[in-house]
Chains A and B, each alone.
Chain A
């Protein structure tokens, strides 16, 4: 990527392995990407494609054992997060890199008030007194659009609805003004109208606060609405990376194309069946030596089973890991 100076996060050749009783699982293989200041990077892929594991590896949130980050560099603020000691990493987590998780129902501690959970990072990272933290907590709840914020601080998570809890989660993630917000399928567990509200909120907050966001999802519709750039993942690898318009207009990787075809159309003939990608995602038992998508790829040929295609740039800001990309894809 050009313009290296404005990158907040630069991930190079990340490999994460889970050691299980039945051998190793190579969940993340040679993943590289970067995140620019203020950018919203969408990460898509089906379940088990390594989206969440990649992001958790960055910041040491995976339980180890069984997880083990084998190789790679994660450059943040001039240091490699993978080489950083646990204490410094804790200072970064929650303060400079915020997280929002998938299920707001279980992500908040049920026995502590929302206020307590919001004040925690403020006291820990900003050294605030209880009173100052309380004031800031009210501001944060107002920021994420929770009415009657001062009162609601005294409430417990079960007294909030799902959408409200996700707003609280976002408030916690934003508590210390992070430079990067990692949102791991934050709207998947919510119903559609709430999902739209949360998306609106994130768009708005991004403009206000100017942080970079990594948004993990398997919903391409969401991506189309908010992302600047898209990372498509499959089998623990990045198979395509492009600006959001490029992905929808000119998808190169067969998997990206297949994903786009599976989006159901609201208009059009009603009798049409939903499109699916045939087959199952690969078991990641061994380090990949071939293209992970070859068994489900309509255009697979003999070379795909022999070697794993590397990502190659086909136009500025657009790279693809497929042998067919660029050359024959123009007519495909």
Chain B
């Protein structure tokens, strides 16, 4: 297993390099202009100078090479130095990947935005899964009962209603009409006491609810289908014939088997949730990664977009690896070496 993991990790290096190149090419082809948001009074010659100062005058391969050196060598070294407070390999004149628009290092921007996204989106994914698995189990066990029918209906709604609709809907209901939760996520809030913790919880409720609805809808369907597949298997009859309690039959024998495909779906869904949260972050004004990406795209901020997209790519590749490893752990029939 360790061997397999290392091999996969090695293999993911060329894959990611290739992806980064494709992203770079696509961004280079895009007609966006980093000076586009500047005042119209700036004459074209000055604009050209600004572009040149950003390094856009150089040929594409040179620019890609420089980005690679920056991203794969200098930025990790910067993080290393920042973390340990050291200064290695000439940190004084080491450059950073700098955002065109904000002139701030891209990595710092991402580090600032990450906690909000992790709290809101990560939490919603966890909540969604925790709700979805029991729903899937009960729906399958009591197939066609009122519980199952309700679950099917709610899943269908959750699946088909986009978050820009459900988000606005819950804002209207819970913020405007009932006034229970704030409609805007306050990033400056620091959790220092019980009261601020409760405030944090209250402002997280709605975005988490909207995102978790989608996750729950999807995962509970998978879980239900997988449980139904397994409930009719011969080994379930064997477990019953051994006189095992229904709870043991269901939660030990069937559940473990049913989780195998669902774990894969969950692992593969992690990067997709970060991508899909962009809209929800906009609706609730959560200034997380998704919002940063939108700003970057609108401002023609190539370094920012390049870096964020590449991070998404890394997450997708890693999630695939995690899914495969989990599969191997849960299913003894699968061995990778």
Chain B's closest residue to A125 (CB) is B243
Per DSSP, chain B at the interface is helix
Q: Is the pair A94, B243 in contact by a Cβ cutoff of 8 Å?
A: yes
Smallest beta-carbon distance B262→chain A, Å: 14
Set of chain A residues within 8 Å of B238, measured between Cβ atoms: 99, 101, 107-109, 169, 172
Instruction: State in angstroms the CA–CA spacing of A121 and B237 once bound together.
Output: 14
Stretch from B40-48, B192-200, B326-334 contacting the other chain: B326-334
Check A124 against B234 for contact (C-beta < 8 Å).
Answer: no
CB of B253 within 8 A of CB of A93, answer: no
Whose C-beta in chain B lies nearest to the C-beta of A59? B241
Smallest Cβ distance from B215 to chain A, in angstroms? 25
Nearest chain B CB to A136 CB, angstrom units: 14
Q: Does A92 contact B (CB under 8 A)?
A: yes
List of B residues within 8 angstroms of A109 by Cβ = 235, 238-239, 253, 256-257
**Residues of B close to A246: CB separation below 8 A:** none
The answer to whether residues A106 and B235 also contact, given A111-B331, A111-B332 and a CB cut-off of 8 A, is yes
Q: Flag whether A90 is at the interface (Cβ < 8 A).
A: yes
Q: Please encode chain B, from 229 to 262, with 1 for each CB lying within 8 Å of some chain A CB and 0 for all others.
A: 0000111011111111100100001001100100
A125 / chain B contacts, CB cutoff of 8 Å? 243
B249 to chain A, nearest CB (A): 10
Interface string of B217-238 (1 = CB under 8 A from A): 0000000000000000111011
B: number of interface residues (CB 8 Å): 21
Known A-B contacts A110-B332, A156-B332, A158-B333; the reply to A61 vs B241 at CB < 8 A is: yes
Assembled-state Cα–Cα distance A106/B256 (Å): 16
Q: Is the CB of B234 within 8 A of A101?
A: yes
Min distance, Cβ B137 to any Cβ of chain A, angstroms: 16
Question: If A93-B243, A124-B243 touch, does A101 touch B332 (CB 8 Å cutoff)?
Answer: no
- A158 nearest CB across to chain B (Å): 5
Contact residues in B for A59 (Cβ distance below 8 Å):
241
Considering residues B233, B242, B245, B260, which has the most beta carbons from chain A within 10 angstroms of its beta carbon? Answer: B242
| Chain A neighbourhood of B234, CB < 8 A | 101, 103, 106-107
With A156-B332, A158-B333 in contact, is A121–B235 under 8 Å at CB? no
Per-residue interface assignment for chain A, residues 163 to 183, with 1 indicating a CB less than 8 Å from any chain B CB and 0 otherwise: 000000100110000000000
In the complex, which of the residues A93, A106, A111, A112 contacts B242, with contact meaning CB atoms closer than 8 Å? A93
Question: In the complex, which residues of chain A have a beta carbon less than 8 angstroms from the beta carbon of B239?
Answer: 109, 120
CB within 8 Å of B: which A105-153 residues: 106-113, 120-121, 124-125
The distance from the CB of A316 to the nearest CB of chain B, in whole angstroms, is 35
Does residue A44 face the partner (Cβ distance < 8 Å to B)? no
Which of B235, B257, B332 is in CB contact (< 8 Å) with A107? B235
Q: Determine if A95 is an interface residue (Cβ-Cβ < 8 Å).
A: yes
Chain A residues positioned under 8 Å from B331 (CB to CB): 110-111
- In contact, A120 and B235 (Cβ under 8 angstroms): no
Rounded to whole angstroms, the CA-CA distance of A120 and B242 in the bound complex is: 8
Complex Cα distance A237/B216, Å?
49
**In the complex the two chains form, what is the Cα distance from A137 to B241 in whole Å?**
18
Q: What residues on B are CB-neighbors of A90 within 8 Å? A: 243-245
Cross-chain contact B242 with A110 (CB below 8 angstroms): no
CA of A110 to CA of B235, assembled, Å: 8
Q: In the bound complex, do residue B244 and residue A124 qualify as a contact, i.e. CB atoms below 8 Å apart?
A: yes
CB-CB contacts below 8 Å: A184-233 with B: none
Q: State in angstroms the CA–CA spacing of A113 and B256 once bound together.
A: 13
Docked CA distance A103–B237 (Å): 12
Which residues, 56 to 102 on A, are CB-close (under 8 Å) to B? 59, 61, 90-95, 98-99, 101
- Given A110-B257, A111-B257, A158-B333, check contact A94 B237 (CB 8 Å): no
- Once the chains bind, are A93 and B332 in contact (CB under 8 Å)? no
Task: Give the residues in chain B near A110, CB-CB below 8 Å.
Answer: 235, 257, 331-333
B240 with A93: CB separation less than 8 A:
yes
CB of B171, distance to nearest CB on chain A (Å)? 44
Query: In the assembled complex, how far is the CB of residue A100 from the closest CB belonging to chain B, in whole angstroms?
Result: 9
A99 to B237, CA, bound (A): 10
A61: chain B residues within 8 A (beta carbon): 237, 240-241
Chain A 269-298 near chain B by CB (<8 Å), digits 1 or 0: 000000000000000000000000000000
Q: Using Cβ atoms and an 8 Å threshold, which residues of chain A touch B235? A: 106-110
CA gap between A173 and B300 in the complex, in Å: 70
Report Cα–Cα, A135/B234, bound state, in Å. 27
Complex interface: chain A residues within 8 A of B332 (CB): 110-111, 113, 156, 158
* List of A residues within 8 angstroms of B253 by Cβ: 109, 112
Which B residues lie within 8 Å of A106 (CB)?
A: 233-235
Question: Which residues of B83-127 are within 8 A (CB) of A?
Answer: none
- Chain B residues lying within 8 Å of A120, measured Cβ to Cβ, are 239, 242, 244, 248
Chain A nearest CB from B102 CB (Å) reads 51
Q: How far is the CB of A17 from chain B (nearest CB, A)?
A: 20
Q: In the complex, A107→B244 CA distance in Å?
A: 15
Assess the B330–A111 pair: CB atoms within 8 A. yes
Q: How far is the CB of B98 from chain A (nearest CB, A)?
A: 51
What is A's interface to B at a CB cutoff of 8 Å? Answer: 59, 61, 90-95, 98-99, 101, 103, 106-113, 120-121, 124-125, 156, 158, 169, 172-173
Top 10 A-B pairs ranked by shortest CB distance?
A94-B243, A94-B242, A99-B241, A93-B243, A106-B234, A109-B235, A156-B332, A121-B242, A107-B234, A90-B243
Show 9 A/B contacts (Cβ-Cβ < 8 Å), sorted by A: A59-B241, A61-B240, A94-B243, A101-B234, A101-B238, A107-B235, A107-B237, A169-B238, A172-B238
B residues sitting closer than 8 Å to A (CB atoms) are: 233-235, 237-245, 248, 253, 256-257, 260, 330-333
Q: A109-B257, A172-B242 are known contacts; what are 12 more A-B pairs with Cβ within 8 Å? A: A90-B243, A94-B241, A98-B241, A99-B241, A109-B253, A110-B331, A112-B256, A120-B239, A120-B242, A156-B333, A158-B333, A169-B238
